[in-house]
Amino acid sequence: MNDEIRQRRWTFLKQMMLIRRFEEAVATAGAEKAFPGHYHLYIGQEATGVGAMAALGPSDKIATTHRNHGHVLARGADPEACLAEIMGRANGINRGRGGTIHLCDPELGFLQTSGVVGSVVGLAAGGGYACKLKGDGSLTAAFFGDGALEEGIAFECLNIAALWGLPVIFICENNSADALGMAKGGYPTLVHAANDLRSIPGSLGIEAIRVDGTEVEEVHRVVAHAAAHCRAGKGPLFIETVTRRWAGSAPLWPELATGITDIGMATGRTKIDDGPHSYWYRHNDPVLKLARQILQDDHSARMQIELLDEQTQAHMRAVVERVHQSPYPELATATDFVFAQGAA
């Protein structure tokens, strides 16, 4: 293994830990009823967002959905602005207008962050259209759930993207593998007639790849391949990343059923017992998985991993503290931003 890969793994671990600790903070605040509304956590899918974002360039565009926190953080957004948005504060990344479902930073290349299931597939096709028109080699990446493929708009826009050869990477995060959500009446592919989701873009001639969405290096490799394909003018690509609905997560108001992540389960400090979540801890949790991979390569990294985790947790504690103290938007501004300035 060369140094570049080693270095990249550390960057990945850092970002994935930030997302994990961020989402735990959101769930904690949610359980304390510190903010209203339902929300969707990215726990269990960190490897997909982080691996994919690392393969995109600074001028590439991104569209995402209700389950967006991990994408926005992986692209480099400030966690404090993100949490403030989720808590409806004036210093939120969208000034409290979007909330958890619509975290969006156009300066980082984000188009809409839409809560309308399926829309992202279409908006991303539009993003790809603009990228092609600009002719600067940029592309658009769409992140959406398997549920998006149940909507007609997905078919319409996959067709348009294929027909017009648009530079779009359609990344479908299928989090229904082993889903406890299935038993709970969640949103798995149980409600899809197509057993293999790749057959949907495949029927339109779009190359479709399936990858283990808990393996950050794998996701990164496949998305980098897709990006090169798009930049070479070969049109869209579809990637299904197979992830697992985080053990015990309810689809709308998630509870921390597996508890706060204990990085000691990767470093050997904490023993994993044979409880109901042992399979999750041993095999599915992408953060523990990556930490173990780093350790396998370098046993001396144990301290460094634990230190990184402590620093991340301390950082998030400070963020939570500040956000709790930050003000709500002025009521008189509630009707600002209906139209862009300079309107005719």
Partner 1 sequence: MPHQKTYAAAFVDALLDSMSDDRMVTLIGSAPLGLGPERHLTEELRHQYPDRVLDPPTAEGGVASVGAGAAMAGARPFVDLLTGSFVYLAWTQIVNEAANGHYMSGGKLQVPVTYHCLEGVRGAGAPQHSQSPHAMLWNAPGVEIVIPSMASDVYGLIRTAIASPNPTMIFSHAKILGIESDVPPSRTPIPFGKADIKRHGRDVTIVALSICVHHALAAAVELAEEGIEAEVIDPRTLVPFDEETILASVKRTGRLVIADEVPQRASAASEIAATIAERGFDYLKAPISRVTRPDTPIPFSPALEQSLIPSARKIAEASRALCMYRNQ
Ligand X SMILES: Cc1ncc(C[n+]2csc(CCOP(=O)(O)OP(=O)(O)O)c2C)c(N)n1
* Residue 185 binds partner 1 (CB under 8 A): no
Residue 185 contact, options partner 1, ligand X, none, Cβ 5-8 Å cut-off depending on partner type: none
Binds ligand X (CB under 6 A): choice among 148, 211, 256, 287: 148
Question: Which of 14, 78, 137, 153 touches partner 1 by CB under 8 A?
Answer: 153
Cβ–Cβ < 8 Å for 146, 95:
no
Helices (DSSP H) in the chain: which residue ranges? 3-31, 46-53, 69-74, 79-86, 119-134, 152-164, 180-183, 199-202, 216-231, 264-267, 278-279, 286-297, 302-325
| Interface with ligand X, residue 9, by CB under 6 A | no
Q: Which of residues 68-107 bind partner 1 (CB under 8 A)?
A: 92-98, 102, 104-107
1 binds partner 1 (CB under 8 A): no
Q: Which of 187, 238, 246, 280 binds ligand X (CB under 6 A)?
A: 187
Residue 146 CB neighbours (<10 A): 20
> Taking CB under 8 A as the rule, does residue 148 contact partner 1?
no
Which of 24, 46, 105, 146: binder of ligand X (CB under 6 A)? Answer: 146
Among ligand X, partner 1, none, partner that 122 touches (CB below 5 to 8 angstroms by kind): partner 1
Q: For residues 104 and 85, is the Cβ–Cβ distance under 8 A?
A: no
**CA nearest to 87, candidates 254, 337, 326:** 326
What angle, 0 to 180 degrees and rounded to 10, lies between the N-to-C axes of helices 79-86 and 3-31?
Answer: 30
Which residues does residue 211 pair with via DSSP β-bridges, in sequence order?
241
Compute the least distance from the CB of residue 192 to ligand X, in Å: 9
Q: Is 145 in the site for partner 1 (CB under 8 A)?
A: no
Question: 216: which residues sit within 8 A by CB, 6+ positions away?
Answer: 9, 12, 16, 46, 47, 50, 51, 286, 290
Contact pattern from residue 57 through residue 96 relative to ligand X, giving x for each residue in contact according to CB under 6 A and a dash for the rest: ---------xx-----------------------------
> Element (H or E) spanning 209, and its range?
strand 207-212
286 touches ligand X (CB under 6 A): no
Q: At 234, which amino acid appears?
A: K
- Should residue 316 be labelled a site residue for partner 1 when binding is judged by CB under 8 A? no
- Hey, what amino acid is at 183? A
Beta 61-64 vs 110-113: how paired, if at all? Answer: parallel
- The residues binding partner 1 (CB under 8 A) are 61, 63, 92-98, 102, 104-107, 111-112, 114, 116, 119, 121-131, 133-134, 140, 152-153, 156-157, 159-160, 163-164, 336-344
Residues that bind ligand X (CB under 6 A): 40, 66-67, 115-117, 145-148, 175, 187
